[in-house]
């Protein structure tokens, strides 16, 4: 039972950390970030299982994480009020060609990042953008006029 409590604690901790890091950072990972994730995964495993390398321990931890993931998805689906907390909300970052600096600061993004994303979608200038939305998955959606 100790493994289940440790897994729940680590699940909540990871959930809070990923919310604090921000969606933009998570959507554009560099090789160093991937290595860091692997190292964190190993550290989490050691913290959760306390070096219990048994099949029972691994099964308990994996099952608990799977159940928590399914449970949070179910909660998000069933309880509309929890959706912003569990999934986040889309944020408008450009409206009628004007960059909304306040929203960019909240998301820890720069104008240059938005411009680069626009160029990737063959948009020459942010003046041509009716609105741009930072989606919950970290991608930017553009609507042009």
Contact residues for 125 (Cβ-Cβ < 8 A; gap 6+): 118
46 against 110, higher pLDDT:
110
pLDDT band at 26; cut points 50, 70, 90 = low
Specify the pLDDT at position 6.
Answer: 84
**pLDDT higher than 60, residue 59:** yes
pLDDT band at 30; cut points 50, 70, 90 = low
Give residue-wise pLDDT tens across range 78-131: 999 999 888 888 999 999 999 999 999 998 899 999 999 999 999 999 999 999
Range 91-144: architecture per CATH = 2-Layer Sandwich (3.30)
pTM over 0.75: no
**pLDDT higher than 80, residue 20:** no
Specify the pLDDT at position 31.
Answer: 67
Q: Domain locations in the chain?
A: 2-87, 91-144
């Amino acid at each position: 039972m100790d493994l289940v409590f440790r897994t729940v604690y680590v699940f909540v901790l990871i959930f809070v950390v990923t919310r604090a890091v921000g969606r933009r950072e998570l959507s554009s990972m560099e090789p160093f970030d991937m290595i860091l994730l692997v190292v964190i995964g190993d550290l989490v495993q050691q913290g959760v299982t306390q070096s219990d390398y048994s099949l029972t321990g691994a099964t308990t931890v994996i099952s608990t994480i799977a159940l928590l993931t399914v449970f949070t998805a179910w909660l998000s689906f069933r309880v509309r009020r929890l959706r912003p907390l569990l999934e986040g909300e889309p944020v408008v970052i450009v409206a009628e060609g004007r960059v909304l600096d306040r929203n960019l600061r909240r998301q820890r993004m720069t104008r240059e990042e938005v411009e680069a994303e626009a160029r990737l979608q063959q948009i020459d200038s942010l003046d041509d953008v009716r609105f741009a939305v930072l989606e919950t998955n970290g991608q930017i959606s553009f609507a042009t006029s």
